[in-house]
Chains A and B, each alone.
Chain A
Amino acid sequence: MIRKGGGPRTGVDWFLTILRVAVLTVIAVGLLAFIAQEIDTDNPFARWANPDATGLTGAQFRGLVVSGVAQGCMYGLIALGYSMVYGVLGFINFAHGEVFMVGAMTGMITSNKLADAGLWESNFIGSLVFIVIVSMVVCTLTAVIMERVAYRPLRGSPRLIPLITSIGVSFFIQNASIVLLGPAAKSYPDVPDWVKDKHTFMQIEGARILVVAVAAVSMLVLWYLVEHTKGGKAMRAVAEDAEIAALMGIDVNRTIVKVFAVGGAMAGLAGILWGILFRSVIHTTGFLPGIKAFSAAVVGGIGHLGGAMAGGVSIGVAESVGPLLILEPLGVSGVSQLRDAVAFAVLIGVLLLRPSGIFGERLPAEDRT
Chain B
Amino acid sequence: MTATVAPETAANAPMPARPALAQDWRRLVRMGAVGAVAQIFIALSNMPVRLDERLVVKPILSLGYLCLLIVPFAAGHRVGHQIEREGVPQHTAGAHEVAGGAACGAIAGGGLSLLAVLLANFDLREPLVNWSPMLAELLAFGHTTGFAVVVWLLIGTAVGAAGGGLRLLGPRSQRAAVTMVLTVAGAAVLEPLVVDLAEGMGLEALSDRLYHRRGGVNWTSALVLAAVSGILAVLGRGRMRQAREHIAALEGAKRTRTNLGLIAATAALLVILPLFAGKLTNELAANVGLFVLLALGLNIVVGLAGILDLGYVAFFAVGSYTAAVLTAATSPRIHPELPWLVALIIVVVVTGLVGLFIGAPVIRMRGDYLAIVTLGFGEIIRLIFLSDWLSGWFGGAQGITKIPGAGIFGLTSVAGTDPRRVFYLVLAFCAIAIYVSWRLERSRLGRAWMAVREDETVAEAMGINTVNVKLLAFVVGAVLGSFSGAIFSAKVGSVFPNSFLILVSIVILVVVIFGGMGSIVGVIAGSAVLIGVLGGPKQPGLLAEFSEFKLLIYGALLIWMMLARPEGLIPSVRRSRELHQQEMAQDAWLKGQVEDDNGSDNGNGNNNDGRQAAAAT
Contact = CB atoms under 8 A, between A and B. Distances in A.
Interface of A: 1, 4, 10-12, 15-16, 19, 91-92, 109, 112-113, 149-150, 153-154, 156-165, 167-176, 178-182, 287, 291, 294, 298, 332-335, 337-338, 340-341, 344-345, 347-348, 351-352, 355, 369
A172 B559 contact: yes
B563 interface: yes
Interface string B1-37: 1100000000000000000000000000000000000
Given A12-B363, A165-B562, A291 B375 contact: yes
A126 B371 CA distance: 42
B129 A168 contact: no
Contact of A179 (B45, B506, B562): B45
A11 B472 CA distance: 13
Contacts of B557: 168
Given A19-B360, A175-B552, A10 B380 contact: no
Contact of B389 (A1, A159, A334): A334
Contacts of A174: 551, 555
Given A19-B361, A159-B367, A180-B44, A333 B377 contact: no
A181 B1 CA distance: 34
B578 to A, nearest CB: 8
Contacts, number: 171
Given A167-B310, A180-B44, A181-B129, A333 B379 contact: no
A337 B387 contact: yes
B460 interface: yes
B141 interface: no
A176 B41 CA distance: 9
B272 interface: no
Contact of A153 (B502, B552, B563): B563
A158 B455 CA distance: 11
A182 B368 contact: no
Interface string B358-373: 0011111111110111
B449 to A, nearest CB: 15
B508 to A, nearest CB: 12
A369 B366 contact: yes
Interface of B: 1-2, 41, 44-47, 126-130, 306, 308, 310, 360-369, 371-373, 375-377, 379-380, 383-384, 386-389, 460, 465, 467-468, 471, 502-503, 506, 509-510, 513, 548-549, 551-552, 554-559, 562-563, 566, 579, 582
Given A12-B471, A160-B368, A338-B389, A175 B555 contact: yes
A167 B372 contact: no
A167 B562 CA distance: 11
16 contacts: A15-B361, A16-B364, A19-B360, A160-B308, A164-B558, A171-B503, A171-B554, A172-B555, A172-B558, A173-B555, A179-B46, A180-B128, A338-B389, A341-B387, A347-B376, A352-B361
Contacts of A149: 559
Nearest to B460: A4
A357 to B, nearest CB: 11
Given A16-B361, A180-B45, A348 B549 contact: no
B389 A332 contact: yes
B460 A344 contact: no
Contacts of A355: 365, 369
Contacts of B364: 1, 12, 16
A329 to B, nearest CB: 14
Contacts of B558: 164-165, 167-168, 171-172
Which 6 pairs from chain A and chain B are nearest by CB? Answer: A168-B558, A334-B388, A172-B555, A171-B555, A344-B376, A175-B552
Given A92-B371, A182-B129, A337-B386, A168 B556 contact: yes
A341 B380 contact: yes
Contacts of B363: 12
A291 B376 contact: yes
A161 B581 CA distance: 15
Contacts of B44: 180
Given A112-B126, A172-B559, A344-B379, A163 B308 contact: yes
Contact of B468 (A4, A12, A163): A12
A165 B373 contact: no
- Max chain B Cβ within 10 angstroms of own Cβ: one of A163, A291, A348: A348
Nearest to B371: A163
A154 B560 CA distance: 12
Given A163-B371, A167-B506, 16 more contacts: A4-B460, A10-B467, A164-B509, A169-B559, A171-B554, A174-B551, A182-B129, A287-B502, A291-B379, A337-B383, A337-B389, A338-B383, A341-B384, A345-B376, A347-B372, A348-B362
A171 B554 CA distance: 8
Contacts of B362: 348, 351
Contacts of A345: 376, 380
Contact of A333 (B45, B361, B389): B389
Contacts of A332: 389
Contacts of A163: 308, 367-368, 371
Contacts of B563: 150, 153-154, 165
A172 B556 contact: yes
A191 B108 CA distance: 42
A161 B562 contact: yes
B367 A298 contact: no
Contact of A113 (B126, B368, B372, B582): B126
B113 to A, nearest CB: 20
A7 to B, nearest CB: 9
Given A165-B562, A180-B128, A347-B376, A333 B388 contact: yes
A150 B559 contact: yes
B307 to A, nearest CB: 9
A150 B367 CA distance: 20
Nearest to B45: A179
Contacts of A167: 310, 506, 509, 558
B605 to A, nearest CB: 26
Contact of B388 (A15, A171, A182, A337): A337
Contacts of B467: 10, 12
A12 B467 CA distance: 8
A306 B259 CA distance: 61
A344 B376 CA distance: 5
A170 B562 CA distance: 14
B368 A159 contact: yes
A334 B362 CA distance: 28
A179 B548 contact: yes
Contacts of A154: 562-563
A15 B510 CA distance: 33
B365 A180 contact: no
Nearest to B391: A334
Contact of B368 (A11, A91, A179): A91
A334 B369 contact: no
Nearest to B370: A351
Contacts of A165: 558-559, 562-563
Contact of A338 (B376, B377, B387): B387
A168 B559 contact: yes
A180 B130 contact: yes
Contacts of B579: 157-158
B260 to A, nearest CB: 35
B552 A348 contact: no
Contacts of A352: 361
A97 to B, nearest CB: 11
